[in-house]
Amino acid sequence: MRPVTPRGFRDVLPYEAAEREVLSAAMSQAISAWGYGPVETPVVEEYTTLEAGMGSSLEGTAFRLFDSDGRLLALRPEMTVPIARLVATRLVQEPGAQRLRYAAQVYREHASLRGQARQFTQVGVELVGTGGPAADAEVVAVLVSALRAAGLADFKVAIGTVAVLRALLTASQMPDPWQCKVLDAAHQRNLVEIDRLTAGDDLPPELARAISGVPRLRGDAAIDDCRALADACGCADVLEGFDETLDLIAAAGVAEFVSVDFGVVRSFDYYTGMVLEVDAPGLGVAVGGGGRYDGVLKALGSDAPAAGFAIGLERLRIALSEQDVNVTVPALDAVLGGDDAAEILRSAARLRAAGWCTRLDTVADGAGLVSEAARLGATEALVARDGEIVRLDRAGEPAGVLAYPLPAPTAREGGEVR
């Protein structure tokens, strides 16, 4: 038998894993600076919990399984509902808003012919218990901070509000199946299908124009144009607070990274207000996204406003590569060899105590150690010998002894294997 990984899953080898670890840590640190605390949730949830929070969006996306008690569970396909469940059951008595962050793997089922990943990593936040423009602006500002901390320079956070389209669909009084088809088309940005659905005589002309036109609006004039279309349909108040959100985003100093796009709807049904997506040149798919989902906590028994975002770590890494951004992983300071295992271990302990990242090697041959150090990107090739730590030059010959107390790695000459 030749073992293989299942379709849509993959192994992550050491160097890429180290890059991912660095990116996740950088974003987590930036998010922590805003006062967001880390949480972890189980990799599985009760299927009914996910269904209550995600609605029809769950269908076809969840890996389902029965446990030994006969209960239907599912691997988490995203982190919003699991954290909403955590807040509703474990933090409901805590005063004030909950600012939570996470870095976690999620799992989504896809048809075999689509060639999509079925496991990926998300870094994100959930701000639960406070709503309005200030909370929305905070979520956007934290998102920008996280992306910049990861090294991404060229990106836009496109923001809109799904409340406009939902209000227009409600005003249409069309059958629920028709409204669901329009929302599905909007999720896919299928403007041709929206035009087809709104072309019938059953829909008043002003509503047809608005439902078809709003997803096309983006840019500086989009808010005024959207307000005009909404006003004509009796939905004048649907954009209340959106201007203030943009003003607060400017006050946070991140307006240059933000653009208005009412075509952003997102693929989950639970969004109720502001929605956002992160676009980066050359990628073709969103690096991340999120928005306001004020109904999810209520569906789980604890009515509270909430908003958040998730960044796809795999997509972020590709976006960084497209922008020629190198992720700097911690360097290996030295490869340490010798012909006495006990002496190697004692010398390595002294090096690590001085701050050296040291890899052990039982090779005693100088040229072999230099070759191994070069292969691993280590700055030094060292030999433990007669109670001393001997430096090797490029040819593998002794080039001096490290004096005690050992220097810190940053204090020594370096940059290449000697």
Residues 106 and 172 placed together within one structural domain of the fold? yes
Q: What is the pLDDT of residues 22-62, one digit of tens each?
A: 999 999 999 999 999 999 999 999 999 999 999 878 888 89
Tokens 């124009």 locate to 209
Flag whether 416 is in a domain: no
Residues 295 and 388 placed together within one structural domain of the fold? no
Residues 308 and 364 placed together within one structural domain of the fold? no
Q: Which pLDDT score, from 0 to 100, does residue 284 have?
A: 85
> For the chain, how far is it from start to end, CA to CA, in angstroms?
45
Domain boundary among 281, 297, 322: 322
Helix axes 80-90, 47-54, angle to 10 degrees: 110
Cα 79 to Cα 76: distance, rounded to the nearest angstrom: 7
Residues 162 and 23 placed together within one structural domain of the fold? yes
Strand partners, 65: 73
Residues 294 and 397 placed together within one structural domain of the fold? no
Cα 140 to Cα 248: distance, rounded to the nearest angstrom: 10
Flag whether 157 is in a domain: yes
Q: What is the CA radius of gyration of the chain?
A: 27
The answer to whether 286 touches 277, Cβ cutoff 8 Å, is yes
Q: What is the CATH number of the domain that holds 201?
A: 3.30.930.10
Residues 241 and 366 placed together within one structural domain of the fold? no
Flag whether 1 is in a domain: no
Residues 79 and 47 placed together within one structural domain of the fold? yes
Closest C-alpha to 152, from 302, 316, 356? 316
Closest C-alpha to 332, from 417, 394, 390, 397? 417
Tokens 């602006």 locate to 137
Closest C-alpha to 189, from 58, 306, 286, 110? 286
Q: 3-state SS of the chain?
A: CCCCCCCCCCCCCHHHHHHHHHHHHHHHHHHHCCCCEECCCCCEEEHHHHHHHHHHHHCCCCCEEECCCCCEEEECCCCHHHHHHHHHHHCCCCCCCEEEEEEEEEECCCCHHHCCCCEEEEEEEEEECCCCHHHHHHHHHHHHHHHHHCCCCCCEEEEEEHHHHHHHHHHHCCCHHHHHHHHHHHHCCCHHHHHHHCCCCCCCHHHHHHHHHHHHCECCCHHHHHHHHHHCCCCHHHHCCHHHHHHHHHHCCCHHHEEEECCCCCCCCCCCCEEEEEECCCCCCCCEEEEECCCHHHHCCCCCCEEEEEEEHHHHHHHHHHCCCCCCCCCCCEEEECCCHHHHHHHHHHHHHCCCCEEECCCCCHHHHHHHHHHHCCCEEEEEECCEEEEECCCCCEEEECCCCCCCHHHCCCCCCC
Flag whether 360 is in a domain: yes
Structure tokens at 343: 């002496």
Q: Which pLDDT score, from 0 to 100, does residue 415 have?
A: 41
Residues 189 and 159 placed together within one structural domain of the fold? yes
Cα 160 to Cα 267: distance, rounded to the nearest angstrom: 14
Domain that holds residue 184: 14-322
Q: Which pLDDT score, from 0 to 100, does residue 268 have?
A: 74
Residues 40 and 152 placed together within one structural domain of the fold? yes
The answer to whether 335 touches 373, Cβ cutoff 8 Å, is yes
Flag whether 407 is in a domain: yes
Residues 366 and 286 placed together within one structural domain of the fold? no
Flag whether 288 is in a domain: yes
Domain boundary among 322, 353, 387: 322
Q: What is the CATH number of the domain that holds 364?
A: 3.40.50
Domain boundary among 300, 322, 344: 322
In tens digits, what is the pLDDT along the chain, a chain of 418 residues? 899 999 999 999 998 999 999 999 999 999 999 999 999 999 999 999 999 999 878 888 899 999 999 999 999 999 999 999 999 999 988 888 999 999 999 999 877 666 688 999 999 999 999 999 999 999 999 999 999 999 999 999 999 999 999 999 999 999 999 998 998 898 888 999 999 999 977 889 999 999 999 999 999 899 999 999 999 998 878 898 999 999 999 999 999 999 999 989 876 778 999 999 999 998 888 999 999 999 999 999 898 999 999 999 999 999 999 999 999 888 899 999 998 999 999 999 999 999 999 999 877 688 999 999 999 889 999 999 999 999 999 999 999 999 888 888 865 444 444 4
The answer to whether 219 touches 260, Cβ cutoff 8 Å, is yes
As a dihedral over the C-alpha atoms of residue 400, residue 406, residue 412, residue 416, rounded to 10 degrees, the angle is 60
Flag whether 6 is in a domain: no
Number of structural domains found in the chain: 2
Residues 6+ apart with CB under 8 A from 64: 47, 72, 73, 74
Residues 276 and 349 placed together within one structural domain of the fold? no
Flag whether 418 is in a domain: no
Q: Which pLDDT score, from 0 to 100, does residue 413 have?
A: 47
Residue 347 CB-half CA count within 13 A = 29
Residues 307 and 375 placed together within one structural domain of the fold? no
